[in-house]
Amino acid sequence: MYSIVKRLRQRGRRLADREISASAGVRGELSVAIVGHQTEAKLYDPNDQQRRPLIPELRDAQLITMTATGMLFYGTEQGPDGAEYVQEWSVRLAGTD
């Protein structure tokens, strides 16, 4: 589903509300699937046949809240240093804002 995703944490630290509000988010196609033994959420460009992620994949993704216009996912992502960090995604369905 075509969505706008805002990452709510940086290296595991929750961003301030003003930082989250100021972010435009990243637009792309959202997929959630079981990969191996974990649920993985991925945001990718729908025109990319290889489905390379636009932002780091959310591993062990859990749907926390769902409303008519959006969802909140919680999980972990791999940082550039290879470490795993807690992450949350605020997802809005494109066209609902």
Q: Confidence class of residue 69 from pLDDT cuts 50, 70 and 90?
A: confident
**Segment 2-23, tens digit of pLDDT:** 999 999 999 999 999 999 999 9
Beta strands 38-44 and 84-93 are unpaired
**Segment 7-65, tens digit of pLDDT:** 999 999 999 999 999 999 999 999 999 989 999 999 999 999 999 999 999 999 999 99
The domain ranges of the chain are 2-93
Mean pLDDT of 52-79: 96
- Give pTM, 2 decimals: 0.91
Query: Quick one: CA dihedral 53, 3, 34, 81, positive or negative?
Result: positive
